[in-house]
Structure 1
Amino acid sequence: MDDPSHAEYRPSTHDLLNDATMWLQYARGVTATLADLVHEAEELDCKQLSLSLEAIAAMTLRGLQKMSDARAEAHWDAVSSVKDTA
């Protein structure tokens, strides 16, 4: 959804929430896969495990940022609709 070539494009609240859901689902999927791998592993590579956990944290952060953007967009939409009716 982020396309810098279209500077005038402003994603809708719906688009932002869809993006947030997607990123949080990615994080959930990777977490579940990682948990299965750790459960089945005889040995753990701590460096690889930490990189995987950092990736999960980054995906979760991205999802939360999109949720925050959606909340701000919804607020601005509400303010704009109040101004239009006044």
Structure 2
Amino acid sequence: MQACRLWEGDHNVESGLYRLPQGLTIPRHHHAFWCQVFVVRGAMRVQADGDDKHTITAGGYYFVEPGDTHTETALDDTLLLVTCEEDRPEFRR
């Protein structure tokens, strides 16, 4: 996975572009805070614990609630715009 950070700074938010090759699976994980993922190109399969699998294609997005455990798989070569809340000391004013 290739990453290009677009924003890390004030307001406890980070944003970046992520390029995932077809077939790459991001193993089961969770985020302490919210995370919004916009599929710029390609397609992602997303499955949160206890939910059905969802396919999100280019132009679509998904939102991960804080603490939701999930798995993500790139169904094609995929480009994502990811914006997440972060609570890191360097983000605090």
Whichever structure has more strand as a proportion of its residues is: 2
TM-score over 0.5 for the alignment? Answer: no
Q: Please state which band the TM-score falls in when normalised by the shorter chain.
A: under 0.3
TM-score, length of structure 2 as denominator length: 0.21
TM-score, length of structure 1 as denominator length: 0.22
The one of the two structures with greater contact order (alpha-carbon pairs below 8 A, sep at least 6) is 1
